[in-house]
Structure 1
């Protein structure tokens, strides 16, 4: 929603101010230059990010128009789920959650939280480390190191789409200059035309530079920033799970372990201590 609102506001102010001073909007419409600019930049991105990075970028691109999946409600469900599973471990021992970990979709605990189970990467992260805890062959320091490596890998993969779109934005002004130069070359070959027509050709050539800068900093650049924020949000949820599980592994009670996780959240999504306590009690 905010993406559309931002675009509408940006174009309304730029083109509205231009038209209010007597500018002709029709002169800015140069489809061939738009094709040159976007075609060149996208082609360069395919060269640099072809294969898996390009697929990841195309998959992530539609998410810029969606709200964040990691809301306060999502984290409340996550903490409630972790609290239940850790409480079961504390009461009945680690072996009691073996069936839950092996098939979380059929687990009485995990199945109560469809939003969490629907995120297959997250649920795999949770169950994989619970499985390691059940095995009992790794200590807390070894598990923490393994978690850090996996989270770093996840963040690196999540940052690829943001980097690709940022590079696309960086390339647009340069290809705008390419389009402008080609327009000037065309104009130089048309010097036999009357001044009014030459003026139109020169103006059309200059539009290439304008469009390259506008598309880069007004449209594509902000999308890269959104994708970067989303990658950071996605990483934060793994860090939260890490802190909670390690607190439990170090001997803290489930109530304290989820409090460790709550403290790891951004302030915009972090529930208060009382909110979390009441929500967990309702879910039990």
Structure 2
């Protein structure tokens, strides 16, 4: 699990509830099952209407993407590409065939096999960029479901509040309970706005952030694969890939190289 996502959700909930209690509120005043049913049930229904079943089945994948822990392997991938560049310069791209066929990453494997098969560099770039576009569209589809929920939830909260006020105003025989009844009615608005801004929209943003990070890694792999096909020297491949790594400014002559040179790069 991604600890930052969990901490963010818990911190937001704690801040909201803690602030309410600090002002003298009662925890029981926030727990209104009828408001929760209107907001979350209505939001779920609106999302079901908005998307086909095939899209909704990807919700679990979107949650895994947002809450799952991802390890940054960009440096290891960069070093591997640099090593492959050295192998290709010594023995040609055919020397990478076995390594390509057994590579665990599908994007890298397909790119290297395209190179080994002797495809034109422009075709290799086009095929891999299409794969990147497909990945981006898939992740955007995940995010749009949660963005839609984040848009519907506040509206459902307003609907719940209006329904509560209708009930209050239709029964004014006991003015002593009027204030408490109005407060309960506004709980639905709180549920809608809070769930949108603490849950649905942040999850959508996290999915987009993960998407961008993954596309950056794929772009690095694309540059490395094309450099290998072009027969670039490992030092040149290193300079190209360094700008994609975390913490890089693209200025290797400033005294810090994100990918340290290895002793075996001199050819």
Q: Return the TM-score normalized by structure 1.
A: 0.81
* Change beyond 3 A, Cα 1:221–1:146: same
Does the alignment pair 1:90 with 2:72?
no
Q: 2:111 aligns with which of 129, 143, 146?
A: 129
Q: Of 198, 211, 216, which aligns to 2:191? A: 211
Unaligned runs of 5+ in 1: 105-109, 111-116, 118-122
2:129 aligned residue: 148
Residue by residue, what CA displacement relative to the aligned partner does 1:69-95 show, whole Å, maximum 9, x if unpaired?
2x2xx1222122223333222222222
Q: Across the two proteins, how many residue pairs are aligned to each other? A: 259
Distance 1:47 1:239 in 2: 36
Q: Structure 2-normalised TM-score?
A: 0.85
Distance change in 2, residues 1:16/1:6 (3 Å) = same
Say which of 23, 26, 29 aligns to 2:28: 26
Within 2, Cα distance between the matches of 1:206 and 1:229? 33
User: Which 5+ residue runs of structure 2 have no aligned equivalent?
Assistant: none
Pairwise CA distance, 1:266: 4.2
The structure where helix makes up a greater share of residues is: 1
- Rounded to whole Å, the distance in 1 between the matches of 2:249 and 2:144 is 26
Q: How far apart, CA to CA, are the structure 1 residues paired with 2:90 and 2:15?
A: 63
The verdict on how the C-alpha distance between 1:269 and 1:208 changes in structure 2, with shifts beyond 3 A counting, is farther
The 2-side partners of 1:167 and 1:199 are apart by 33
Counting only pairs closer than 5 Å after superposition, residues 1-284 of structure 1 correspond to structure 2 as 1-69=3-71, 71=72, 74-102=73-101, 104=102, 110=103, 117=104, 123-136=105-118, 138-192=119-173, 194-267=174-247, 273=257, 275-278=259-262
| Partners of 2:84 and 2:228 within 8 A in 1 | no
How far the C-alpha of 1:244 sits from its partner, in A, is: 0.9
Distance 1:6 1:239, change over 3 A: same
Deviation at 1:233, TM superposition (A): 0.9
Write the distance in 2 (CA, Å) between the matches of 1:218 and 1:144: 40
Q: CA RMSD in A?
A: 2.6
